[in-house]
Amino acid sequence: MSLQAKLTNALKEAMKAKDQIALESLRAIKSELLLAQTSGSQAELTEADEIKLLQKLVKQRKDAAAIFVEQNRTDLAEPELAQAKVIEQFLPAQLSAAEVEAVIQSIITEGNFSGMQAMGQVMGLANAKLAGSADGKTISSIVKQLLTT
């Protein structure tokens, strides 16, 4: 089932349940998808493009929530985190830190990389291999940790 079809079904369910947070989140996804499709860059969005778009929306929500928490505005942070959870339902299952570390370790040993000068190369390979199944921040921190040891 395509993302559009899943989104339409989820919107219907959220409307029936009168779930405002889910509705806001789903409408945000739909809006971003429409903007991406009509931007003229390509006729059809690939699954990878859709995953990137969803990850971007989740990251925006989490960043906003972090700022609100910093400013002691938990009343504003909670809806942002709730929206991030709704959007994450459409992302593929995320790998655990241990699984990500194992993949990155195999990349480092296969490519015989060492030292921080190889960070860019390892990050490029890791991002390509782990696209959609781990966020960039996690990948980056694990790559740094493995290359410095």
Per-residue pLDDT tens over the stretch 107-148:
988 888 888 888 889 898 888 888 778 878 888 899 898 888
Closest by CA position to 64, among listed 82, 90, 44, 43:
82
Of how many residues is the chain composed? Answer: 149
What pTM, to 2 d.p., does this model score? Answer: 0.77
Two structure tokens written together for 90:
């459409």
97 contact partners, CB below 8 Å, separation of at least 6? 138, 142
Residues 4-16: pLDDT tens digits? 889 999 999 999 9
